[in-house]
Structure 1
Amino acid sequence: MSLAESVAVELVPVEVTGVSVIIPTKDRPELLARAVRAVLAQEFDGPIECIVVFDQEQTHLPEVPTGPGRTLRVLRNERTPGLAGTRNTGYLRASHTIVAACDDDDEWLPGKLTAQLDLLDRYPQASLVATGIVIHFSGRDIPRQAQDEVLTFRDFLRDRRMEVHPSTYLARRSAVVDGFGLVEEEIPGGYAEDYDWLLRAAKTGPVVCVRDPLVRVNWHNGSFFTSRWEMIDQALTWLLRRFPEFAGERRGLGRVQGQLAFANAALGKRRKALGLAARALRNHPTNRQALASLLVTSHLVTPDQVIGLGRRFGRGV
């Protein structure tokens, strides 16, 4: 199916007056400085405004040189605590026509910004522009090239497309503020707020991707506690209600049901986990999350062991 057949959107030229980059942060000054440096070092003839938004904590200006055409601002999130409110604080206060995002522990690689703006110029009907990523975990880099240049709402129902990561996002500010909207602050625990945002964006126009891995996403070791699994269960249940279109995409529905099965297996809710896994496998017979949930409910592995194995191969649960 061609782009014209899959998405009917009026072509709107993009006038780029500058780029505002939002970096949400909380208590990670060294990682933050690295992220800011990588953003301000991008080769781009226009102005770049880097907005660091501190989540419910005292602000401070990172000690990073700016240079000509580069500005650094700090704000404090007074909205809902967490990533969603922090991102929205930055989007609403951005000065330029284009907004982008980077998590405070990730890094933009050289050429990222210009490659995305070139692609947006080719696809002015795009709702969002992303890139491939490099996952850095346990001292090694795992490149994840974007598989497709153009992705639709149906594509994202079917598969989350992990390489379309929040630290790669770039969009028109008008689309974020007045179009598909700000990041949802009501989703339980803020979990999967980026997926919700991605689905809403893709409903209004295609998401286009620079296929090259141009953002380094740094993964860290750590355990998932009971409260975290409960929040994942609530958030994914909320997401399925939010997008009834999942019912028409069995593979995508099975994938989310598999994630729910794994969360409930991690919580020790064996009966619920088995029921969800059965539904997931009927919809998506090779779903790895559902299969992993069966191993956890059988006490053959722990949830942390499954997560650790997935991370070694650059995959999440």
Structure 2
Amino acid sequence: MLREVSVVVPTHNRPELMKLAVESVLAQKTSVGGEVIIVFDACPIEVPELEIPEGWIVRGIANSRSRGLAGARNSGIDAAEGRLVAFLDDDDEWLSGKLDAQLRRFEEKPEAIVVGTAMIIDDGESTHVRLVPDEELSHEAFLRNRNPGLHSSSLMFRRELLLGELGLIDEDLPRSYGEDYDILLRASSLGLVSVVNEPLVRVLWKGQSYYFGQWASYAEALQYLLRKHPDFASIPAALGRIEAQVAFALAASGDARGARAWARKALRHNPKQVKAMLAVAISWKLVTPQTITKIVQKLGRGI
């Protein structure tokens, strides 16, 4: 069998979760061969014992680039041998049929830059299905909405594009926040982003994310994305959406004055931006960011 797919699994000191993630790839019923590349980021290379199906290999490498998620993904891309490259975070799992569904979509849509799937969010107490509004997403669609039904663990790319016109994951993004959104914005500006609109990835949300509660870094990364993608400004509502997220993150980090300034910008561009209003409420200590975050997570949503 040909090695068709390389699955890049960045990990940092979460061996039990990482093993479950890798096993979910190896459990895919598919006729193609592939490889799982576990990228150990600032931790020892310790590949778990696994039952590996015929035609597949599992190997562990060190993150040889910048520390963090973006550098780890890129180390995996550098080492990949498959025609297609997929990502899987070490606390997520692929569900049955995910790999074959994406391979079929690439055959049906040879012009696709990237193929993703919808997902299931698991907060440890309940699950929520997140679908995507459309199976074909334009660049404007991503400017207007992050389309949160798409997750980094659902994405599959043509390796030649990652090494060429599309480019690698942006390692300059502060703490790698929004690296998946950034590459989707870049991909959609080049061509088609196609989605298998079925929940074929399980994403674990229990507060152990690398990013949980890092509000100041989140605000910094969002401002970086606004500078990098000036086309947000072509759609006032889209610009206001990101500005409102910056405002909320600054308010949650304790920067009340900055939060109110960004909230004013957001509301000028989009007077219906609820996150901007919430940022103002947090800045005046009328509500806590923890309370709001708990509520939206119970609904299977994010800030």
The TM-score bracket by the shorter chain reads over 0.9
Say whether the 8 Å CA contact 1:224–1:304 is kept in structure 2. no
* Distance apart, 1:264 and its partner CA: 1.5
1:67 aligns with 2:26: no
* Distance apart, 1:251 and its partner CA: 1.6
1:126 aligns with 2:112: yes
TM-score by length of 1: 0.91
Match of 1:127, SS? Answer: strand
1:185 aligns with 2:171: yes
* Distance apart, 1:205 and its partner CA: 1.0
Amino acid at match of 2:236: R
After superposition, give the CA deviation of every residue in 1:217-276 in whole Å (9 maximum; x if it has no partner).
Answer: 000136999992221222111111101101001121111100110111123222221121
Look up the match of 1:271. 257
Distance in 2 (CA, whole Å) between partners of 1:254 and 1:35 is: 36
Quickly say closer, same or farther: Cα 1:91–1:250, change in 2 above 3 A. Answer: same
Coordinate RMSD, CA, aligned: 1.8
After superposition, give the CA deviation of every residue in 1:59-86 in whole Å (9 maximum; x if it has no partner).
Answer: 0111211021121010000210000000
* Between 269-278 and 27-36, the greater mean CA deviation after superposition: 269-278
Q: Which runs of 5+ in 1 are unaligned?
A: 1-15
* Distance apart, 1:36 and its partner CA: 0.5
* Distance apart, 1:286 and its partner CA: 2.4
Structural mapping, 1:142-161, within 5 Å: 142-161=128-147
Match of 1:109 among 86, 91, 95: 95
Distance in 2 (CA, whole Å) between partners of 1:268 and 1:36 is: 38
Quickly say closer, same or farther: Cα 1:223–1:212, change in 2 above 3 A. Answer: closer
Amino acid at match of 2:60: V
1:200 aligns with 2:166: no
* Between 302-311 and 278-287, the greater mean CA deviation after superposition: 278-287
Quickly say closer, same or farther: Cα 1:182–1:218, change in 2 above 3 A. Answer: same
Say whether the 8 Å CA contact 1:21–1:100 is kept in structure 2. yes
Look up the match of 2:29. 43
* Distance apart, 1:91 and its partner CA: 0.7
Say whether the 8 Å CA contact 1:146–1:213 is kept in structure 2. no
Quickly say closer, same or farther: Cα 1:61–1:181, change in 2 above 3 A. Answer: same
Amino acid at match of 2:48: P
Structural mapping, 1:187-266, within 5 Å: 187-221=173-207, 228-266=214-252
Match of 2:8, SS? Answer: strand
* Distance apart, 1:150 and its partner CA: 0.3
Say whether the 8 Å CA contact 2:3–2:35 is kept in structure 1. no
Match of 1:162 among 124, 131, 148: 148
Amino acid at match of 1:293: A
Say whether the 8 Å CA contact 1:236–1:260 is kept in structure 2. yes
Say whether the 8 Å CA contact 2:92–2:203 is kept in structure 1. yes
1:307 aligns with 2:293: yes
Q: How many residues align?
A: 302
Identity percentage of aligned residues:
41
Say whether the 8 Å CA contact 1:56–1:78 is kept in structure 2. no
1:291 aligns with 2:289: no
TM-score by length of 2: 0.95
Amino acid at match of 1:241: R
Quickly say closer, same or farther: Cα 1:123–1:226, change in 2 above 3 A. Answer: closer
Look up the match of 1:4. none
Distance in 2 (CA, whole Å) between partners of 1:29 and 1:226 is: 19
After superposition, give the CA deviation of every residue in 1:131-169 in whole Å (9 maximum; x if it has no partner).
Answer: 000000132110112221000111101100111100000
